[in-house]
Structure 1
Amino acid sequence: MKIAFLVRDLCHMGGVVTATQNLAGALAEKHQVEIVALRKVRDESYFPLDGRVRVRALTDLRKHSASYDGDDPLAHEFPARYPYPKTEQKPLVSRLAEKRLLAYLDGTDADVVVSSNPRITVLLAAARGRYMKIAQEHSMPGIYEEQIQGPLFGDAYRRLDAITVLSPEERDNLGGLVPNVRDRISVMPNCIPDPGGRVSDGSSKVVVTAGVLKPHKNFHGLIDAFATVVERHPDWRLRIYGSGVEEAALRRRIHERSLYNHVHLMGPAFPVTAEFAKGSIFVLPSLREPFGNVTVEAMTRGLPVVSMDCDHGPRNILTSGTDGLLVPLDDTEAMAAAINELIEDEDRRVKMGREARRTAERFAPGPSAERFEAIVAKALSRSDVVRALPGTADCTVLPDGDVQVELARRETEDEVPAGLRLVCRDVRNAKEPVHVPFVHGTARIPRRGTLADGLWELGLASGEGYEKALRVGHCDVTDLVSPRHEPGGQGLEMLLPFREQTGHLRVRSRVRPRYSEVTGLEVMSDSVRIEADSWSGEEIVAGAAVAAVNRKDKKRVLLFPVAWAEGTRFGCEVPLDSLTAEHRHEEEIWDLWLRPADGAPVRMSKLATDVLEPFKVFKYPRPVRERSAGEASAPAKGGANRAAWWSRRGAPDPQPAAPSRVEIRPYFTTAAQLAFKTVTL
């Protein structure tokens, strides 16, 4: 099997680089492996790489190189499709690198292509190649910026054959964020080989740690904890390996705590494992750690670990009390106590160090290669099952409002696979999925009591639990043009299926126990006439009114009595002058409610329709009313109510405000609720 790993570059120090190189080397024992880097800026990687792994750089930015690409104008342009941080002043990954990556993806003969970078994953997912596509997430997708989450969660992940994450917790988190891909998420810890060399005997009075010097690594907390350790054990030292933006701040902290003889910033070390062997205890003070390569690297050198119990890596590596100690997150005192505990019990420290070496074997090349091969095998099995499933369905809203989903006729006359279900997943993942069985290729979603209010994506679930998103063939919502209002019915329950932008099938469910549907709105020269229908089960009787409630000041309410009523249908007239007279600011919004003679107010909306976004379709004229400066509430544009201000002081306004013009805008909000906006012109 030929396996290709895609990385931004191998020219920086980081966990992704080491993890990718280590796994590539592990797989090279049985497979043909290459690493494809978008850029190259130095001659060698900081970390050792198995000689059997081929490295291909798509752009070469080394000025001394014969293949230097810096003279190409595209090497200095931003890419077109590779998601880029908006804050960047110049591209780290260029348009040239992007073009060459796309060409590589179109022409590679690899059987499996693995992206180790979420931005690259977006391009891999859209590639036309027939190879297996896998994304390795080395961080937490839930904390990615929206610019990356959007394309990943929206479409890229669902185009992949497999997604790997570092811990079971992250599998659950990502499955919650993107529920329609949870069946292809697997846990794949990083591969950390034993580098060989000296192993700690636990006798040195040195505590070690390592990592990039950034705030979430919490080295300042470790310095504070070590101040407590030094009070009891002044002959022990702390060595911090690494570099980063916090270096100066950490050095100030060391000096402020008078720890300059006990705590030392050692700078970066290659390989750092040789330095770990000089210590007797390793500490991981991180506040967030998806995995923690350095933790396993220290364990290979026989060091017990004291670690914050942060999300999610440490608790999936350590067994607290056996090969290390987990302490509560951000608890500096507990961290100091744990370090003291191991310092003061040498026998336990040495025993834990031996157990740590055994734990580290779980992440060695052999087990890591087997895990990856199992993920590929699972993805192949899933792919075979999913490929055999129908991918397109016709959807119809039946006269009673139920939604019928019928699998499109397949090229063969094969029967629908046994156990096939229609799975409805809440797009926001706030509600449990709903499963509906297929009977002879047809599933029916009842309008009432099935889908809670919200947006649902529809797909297929096989008997094995694999899922496939459904694309829309034909979608018939004709019976929703004039949906039936059941006499005496309690509220609104309506399902509106539609084709999402990517072609997949979704259903908008609207559930309102008490509801008032706007059926007509006529804009006159001096008023707006509203017709509506109450779907709440009670008839409209004398005393009912329509209320316009100011959105910012709920105490400001205008009441308009119902002019006529026939059962649940009713009408009222809103005089434009009443809105004009009450207009006090440059812009105000009034939300419309039905106030029955008895009972709570009901929001007036436009949901009983086949139109998915009523605010884009139902548009109305915007009449303008002019009023004189003497009207009590008339403000001058951009200022306070001058006339009222002078009136309260018992004096005439020396500069009366000019007559103002107010535009009245009837409209439906994005939630399809009726409102009036008044605007000073």
Structure 2
Amino acid sequence: MKITFLVYNIYGMGGTVRTVTNTANYLASRNYDVEIISVRRTSAKPMFDINSKIKITSLFDARRGKLFGKNTPLYKKIIKRALLKIPSMFIDKNEDLYQMFNLFVDFKIISALKKIREGILITTIPSFNILSAKFVRNNVIKIGQEHAHFAGHGEGLQNKIKKNYNKLNALTCLTDSEIQVYKNMLNENKINLYKIENATTMPRETAKLENKVVISAGRYVPVKGYDLLIPAFSKVIEKYPDWKLKIFGAGIEEDNLREQIFEEKAYNNIFLMPKTNNILGEMLNSSIYALSSRHESFGMVIIEAMSVGLPCVSFACEGPSEIIKNNEDGVLVDEGNIDELANSLMALIEAKELRKNTAKMLKRTLKDTPLIW
């Protein structure tokens, strides 16, 4: 059976990219015919390893010098440039990456969707789910994924979801609470709802928890709350000046975060690190994971941290609250409470044996869980 994924940028980083990669690799290893349609292409190869059996189709090559082919006629260049300047008409303005879409990309997405003639299509953001419902053939099984929480979508996008999701064959959510939201909203349409949590591989290695390093990873955007983590860790280093915080990622807030680190005079302890395709390796060299998101539908990085026995301190937003058992395999902190976040980090710093006992328990707990492949 042919299984097609539609994603924004399989060449980038982030929890959705990681999850799609893991799922696609798993399916390909079991001899399914898998294709990933990536709306954008931003590098020569994907950041994460993808099974060679998987076909990758990119709709728009955003790399420098790749805008036009060598023999593109002048009139096509003129048309393409014009379409690239027109804002998207099919991607909702409330999507995080709306500014990265345009009318040219709209046409490419719709054309690609109409060419899918069989099998299963899995779409990964609300606007893609809606486009699937509108433009994909009826004989194709349409599965929408929700990687965010419904309340975090703008009102306009919420209305589109209510109107169009009933045309999907199934919808997957990451948490029980989100399943209940969609059940209440779409139940009369009898759409199939499934809670499918993010999955990762189970590494053999376990973090030794000896290095005086706290780690975090994700896009540099407001929702990830790094502007809250920086002042929290600044309080930590007042008492523990030999500890470091490494934040791996990239994004629009990078300059603001660097300025904040400078204002806190924490530039010898807090480091904005480039995005990496070896986050597990970095976790193995750390002792605590910190998650400071204002909203987090699930938290792929929490599962990855747990898989190497790395204890996590997280704000108690929706997703982490369903993963972490407070004071058992991690610590949950009141949302947005910088002082409590700092105190919880210091408590784990001080309790070396607790960190190591937590690591052992995490490996035992996750060993047989269906979350881990």
- How far the C-alpha of 1:109 sits from its partner, in A, is 4.0
**Aligned-partner residue type, residue 11 of structure 2:** C
Q: 1:96-154 CA distances to partner (integer Å, 9 max, x unpaired)? A: 54445444434434321111122122221022331211100111233223443333211
Change (3 A) 1:35 1:332: same
Give 1:133's aligned residue: 142
The residue type equivalent to 1:54 in the other structure is K
In the superposition, relative to structure 1, how do residues 87 and 276 fare at CA in structure 2: closer, same or farther (>3 Å)?
closer
CA distance in 1, matches of 2:335, 2:71: 48
1:344 aligned residue:
350
Q: For 2:207 and 2:309, how far apart are their aligned partners in 1?
A: 6
Q: Does the Cα contact within 8 Å between 1:37 and 1:58 map onto a contact in 2?
A: yes
Partner of 1:208: 215
Aligned-partner Cα distance in 1 for 2:257–2:61: 36
The runs of 5 or more residues in structure 2 that have no matched partner are none
Shift of 1:49: 1.4
Give yes or no for contact 1:162–1:186 (8 Å, CA) kept in 2. yes
In the alignment, what sits opposite 1:28?
28
The residue number in structure 2 matching 1:459 is none
Could you tell me how far apart the structure 2 residues matched to 1:326 and 1:157 are? 33
1:143 to 140, 152, 162: 152
The CA distance in 2 between the partners of 1:258 and 1:91, in whole Å, is 34
Contact 2:4 2:34 (8 Å CA) reproduced = yes
| Residue of structure 2 equivalent to 1:17 | 17
What are the within-5 Å matches in structure 2 for residues 306-321 of structure 1? 306-310=313-317, 312-321=318-327
> What are the equivalent positions in structure 2 for 1:319-398 lying under 5 Å apart?
319-361=325-367, 362=369, 364=371, 366=373
CA spacing shift, 1:335–1:87, aligned 2, 3 Å = closer
Classify 1:74/1:17 alpha carbon distance in 2 versus 1 (closer, same or farther; 3 Å). Answer: same
Q: Which amino acid aligns with 1:151?
A: K
1: CA distance, partners of 2:323 / 2:287: 19
Rate the CA distance shift 1:275–1:183 in 2: closer, same or farther, 3 A.
same
Three-state SS of the structure 2 residue aligned to 1:123 is helix
The CA RMSD measured in Å over matched residues stands at 3.0
Inter-partner Cα distance in structure 2 for 1:110 and 1:365: 29
How far did 1:359 drift? 4.6
**1:314, 1:281 → 2: CA distance?**
15
Shift of 1:305: 0.7
For 2:143 and 2:316, the matched residues in 1 are separated by 29
Deviations 1:229-268 (A, max 9, x none): 2333332222222223333333333333333332222232
Output aligned runs, 1:648-659, within 5 Å.
none
Q: 1:83 to 1:121 in 2, by over 3 A?
A: same
Asked if structure 1 preserves the Cα contact closer than 8 Å seen for 2:172 and 2:194, the reply is yes
**Contact 1:158–1:180 (CA under 8 A) maintained in structure 2:** no
SS of the counterpart of 1:350?
helix
Percentage of identical aligned residues: 29
Instruction: Sort the Cα spacing of 1:289 and 1:68 in 2 relative to 1 into closer, same or farther, 3 A.
Output: farther
User: 1:152 aligned to 161, 167, 171, which one?
Assistant: 161
**Whole-Å separation in 1 of the counterparts to 2:95 and 2:356:** 49
Larger Rg: 1
How far has the Cα of 1:294 moved from its partner? 1.6
| Residue number among 227, 239, 244 corresponding to 1:232 in the alignment | 239
SS, match of residue 41 in structure 2? coil
Distance in 2 (CA, whole Å) between partners of 1:125 and 1:32 is: 22
- Offset from partner CA, 1:247-290 (integer Å, 9 cap, x none): 33333333333333322222323322221221111111212111
**Conserved in 1, the CA contact under 8 Å of 2:166 and 2:191?**
no
Q: 1:145 is matched by which residue type in structure 2?
A: G
Shift of 1:221: 2.3
How many residue pairs get matched? 362
- Check whether the contact 1:197–1:274 (CA below 8 A) recurs between aligned residues: no
Match of 1:124?
A: 132
Taking the TM superposition and a 5 Å limit, the aligned residue runs for 1:394-405 are none
Counterpart-to-counterpart distance in 2, 1:20 and 1:332? 33
User: Which of residues 174, 194, 197 is equivalent to 1:166?
Assistant: 174
Evaluate the alpha carbon distance shift between residue 72 and residue 53 of structure 1 in structure 2; reply closer, same or farther with a 3 A threshold: farther
Aligned residue in 2 for 1:248: 255
Bigger relative CO (Cα 8 Å, ≥ 6 apart): 2
Relative to structure 1, is the Cα distance of residues 187 and 72 closer, same or farther in structure 2, using a 3 angstrom cutoff?
farther
Distance change in 2, residues 1:358/1:72 (3 Å): farther
Q: Which residue of 2 aligns with 1:45?
A: 46
Q: Secondary structure at the match of 2:91?
A: coil
SS at match of 1:19: helix
Q: Which amino acid aligns with 1:254?
A: I
- Which structure: greater helix fraction? 2
Report how far residue 228 of structure 1 moved.
3.1
- Determine which structure has the larger strand proportion and give its number: 1
**Match of 1:282, SS?**
strand
Q: Which residue does the alignment assign to 1:484?
A: none
TM-score by length of 1: 0.49
Q: 1:97 to 1:327 in 2, by over 3 A?
A: closer
Relative to the length of structure 2, the TM-score reads: 0.85
Separation in structure 2 between the aligned mates of residue 87 and residue 131 of structure 1, nearest angstrom: 25
Query: Where in structure 1 are there 5+ consecutive unaligned residues?
Result: 367-681
TM-aligned CA deviation for residue 170 of structure 1: 1.3
Mapped to 2, the partners of 1:303 and 1:222 lie a distance apart of 18
Cα deviation 1:442-477 (Å, max 9, x = unaligned)? xxxxxxxxxxxxxxxxxxxxxxxxxxxxxxxxxxxx
Matched, 1:220 2:227: yes
Q: 1:301 deviation in Å?
A: 2.5
1:136 partner letter = Q
Per-residue CA deviation, residues 547-581 of structure 1 (Å, 9 max, x unaligned), is: xxxxxxxxxxxxxxxxxxxxxxxxxxxxxxxxxxx
Deviation at 1:314, TM superposition (A): 0.7
8 A Cα contact 2:13 2:275, kept in partner: no
Distance 1:307 1:130 in 2: 43
> Structure 1 132/320 Cα, relative in aligned 2: closer, same or farther at 3 Å?
same
Whole-Å separation in 2 of the counterparts to 1:321 and 1:68: 62
CA change 1:182–1:273 in 2 (3 A) is: farther
The answer to whether the 8 Å contact 1:7/1:38 transfers is: yes
Q: Are the equivalent residues in 2 in contact too, given 1:82–1:122 (CA < 8 A)?
A: no
Secondary structure at 1:58 match in 2: strand
Shift of 1:306: 0.9
**Cα–Cα, structure 1 residues 99 and 251, in superposed 2: closer, same or farther, change >3 Å?**
closer
The residue that corresponds to 1:108 in the other structure is 116
Task: Tell me the amino acid that sits aligned with residue 291 of structure 2.
Answer: L
Query: Would the aligned equivalents of 1:142 and 1:177 in 2 still touch at CA under 8 Å?
Result: no
What is the letter of the counterpart of residue 28 of structure 2? A
Superposed, 1:634-653 pairs within 5 Å as none
Displacement of 1:197 after TM fit? 7.5
Distance 1:68 1:166 in 2: 46
The counterpart of 2:299, out of the listed 264, 278, 292, is 292
Preserved CA contact (<8 Å) 2:168 2:191: no
Cα–Cα, structure 1 residues 146 and 332, in superposed 2: closer, same or farther, change >3 Å?
A: closer
Displacement of 1:66 after TM fit?
5.3
Q: Deviations over 1:506-548 (max 9, x none)?
A: xxxxxxxxxxxxxxxxxxxxxxxxxxxxxxxxxxxxxxxxxxx
Is 1:7–2:7 an aligned residue pair? yes
